Amino acid sequence: MWALFSLLFSFVIILVSPQPQQPQQPLLAAGRSFLMPDDTWRREAIKTLWEERQKMIYTPLFKFNYPGLPTVDLIFKNETASRTETLKHRYAWALMMWALVEGHIGPNTTVYEASSGNTAASLAFMCQLVKVRFIAVCPDTLEDKKFAHITKYGANIQKAPNAKRWNVAQEMAASSNGFFMNQFGNADKAEEFHESGTYSLESVNVFHEFLAQLDADPNQLVKQPDYFIMPVGTGGTLSSVGKYVKKYGIATRIIFADTQYSLMGDYAFSGRFSNVSGQNFVISPGMAGIGTLPTGIAVKGKTTSLDRGVIDRVMKIPDMASTAAMGVLQRLGINGGTSSGVNFVAMLSIAANEASKDPHPRLTLSTLLADPGTFYTASYLNRTWINEEMAAHGGLLAYDCWRDVLENILQVGGDPLVIGIQRCQSAAIF
């Protein structure tokens, strides 16, 4: 018995005894200097990006003719005129510049990103510019046109279920010693919200350009829009515009137009889903590329870059209304994608409610054409796809109802959210 006790006592002593520490390396020696790794490649890569910035022309503005409210200006900035055809061109530039400046990318780094398509194409372009390898993790529902758009810039694509692509990209980067760009978490670090003044290297902030173009137009009466309307994917663009507006005391109000079953509107309004997943609320297909939250939980700096503090209003837009708006815009000659449909419905609603209150001679609403409708000819602009994939939203019955509402409002005015929900909700789940 005593022998057993002694053995156990010795075992306890062994367990609790402090383990010998490994000898520590001494501090860097005083009186000496130490060279960091050679910076030549990074300097050249950054120079290449600035050369690309100089090629990035101001994307054009155009005003929408709105007979129903002739005192309202709806102004679109056409980001589809960029070199990779989407808003994500300037966004990918900012992400790549941030990653280079902070030393995350070297000449032998493979860059990984989770994307629904547009960011992947623009990042592929930027990676090709600086000659690093790029792998995009995209949803298994990726449209063929987006697949071709990404791969033409030399990228490889790994498909994954939509809800898992963020984790897959992170795991692939970790297992290969690559770099996970993580646009959802890092957009707020990368996106600019500063004025560049007369410096030759100009700010890439989209609202900086917007204001410069309005100011240069002698026929534009209102030089600062009353509203800027935008949905979010990562939250980077809306937040960068919002921070720019708040920092420089611009009166423009920032409107977050959210998709119907997105979690981001609730997060922006009240902080909901910041510690509990809301994935069970999501109903597919949603509006591709926007309203996404990779893990169902909004963690600033990890799964989202949306800055709640710069938003003035959250609007929830029915997905079928947004889809119908895409079709209406196409018939009007405006080649806008999913976010353009969301933006258009929100703009018409704001115009109907605010036109009579505005102190300016013209109520001025601004937004972006973020990507072209041609990316969605097999989906949101295809009646068969709408009837099958959006059956829970009422299929073609609801689609045609919303289309008729929007086309009538364009002629006589009115709030599409009030009128459309009254007339079209019987065909859909709300």
* pLDDT tens profile 113-150: 999 899 999 999 999 999 999 999 999 989 999 999 99
pLDDT, residue 219, reads: 92
Mean pLDDT across the stretch 216-232? 95
pLDDT, residue 363, reads: 94
Mean pLDDT across the stretch 146-157? 96
pLDDT, residue 229, reads: 99
pLDDT, residue 56, reads: 92
* Confidence bin at 57 (pLDDT 50/70/90): confident
pLDDT, residue 361, reads: 72
* Confidence bin at 426 (pLDDT 50/70/90): confident
Domains of the chain: 48-82+198-427 (3.40.50.1100), 89-187 (3.40.50.1100)
CA dihedral (147, 150, 154, 156) positive or negative: negative
Q: Is 408 helix (H, G, I), strand (E, B) or coil?
A: helix
Mean pLDDT across the stretch 259-276? 96
Q: What are residue 253's DSSP bridge partners?
A: 227
pLDDT at residue 382 above 90? yes
* Confidence bin at 192 (pLDDT 50/70/90): confident
Q: What are residue 313's DSSP bridge partners?
A: 255
Mean pLDDT across the stretch 277-288? 92
* Confidence bin at 22 (pLDDT 50/70/90): confident
pLDDT at residue 16 above 80? no
pLDDT, residue 20, reads: 65
Prior bond of 318 cis (ω within 30°): no
Q: Which of 16-30, 332-346, 395-409, 413-427 has the lowest mean pLDDT?
A: 16-30
Element (H, E) at 89: helix 88-101
pLDDT, residue 62, reads: 93
Portion of the chain with pLDDT greater than 90, in percent: 81
pLDDT, residue 357, reads: 79
Distance CA 329, CA 341 (A): 8
pLDDT, residue 23, reads: 80
* Confidence bin at 429 (pLDDT 50/70/90): low
How many Å separate Cα 271 from the centre of its chain? 19
Q: State residue 160 phi and psi, 5-degree precision.
A: -155, 160
pLDDT at residue 427 above 70? no
Mean pLDDT across the stretch 144-165? 94
pLDDT at residue 67 above 80? yes
- In the predicted model, what is the mean pLDDT of the chain? 92
Which amino acid is residue 350, in one-letter code? I
CA distances from 233 to 101, 145, 199, 336 (A): 24, 20, 31, 16
pLDDT at residue 9 above 80? no
Burial class (CB in 10 A: 0-12, 13-18, 19+), 15: exposed
pLDDT, residue 352, reads: 95
* Confidence bin at 386 (pLDDT 50/70/90): very high
Residue-wise pLDDT tens digits, 294-340: 889 999 989 999 999 999 999 999 999 999 999 999 999 999 999 99
pLDDT, residue 292, reads: 81
In the structure encoding, which two tokens stand for residue 312, read together? 């003035």
pLDDT, residue 193, reads: 84
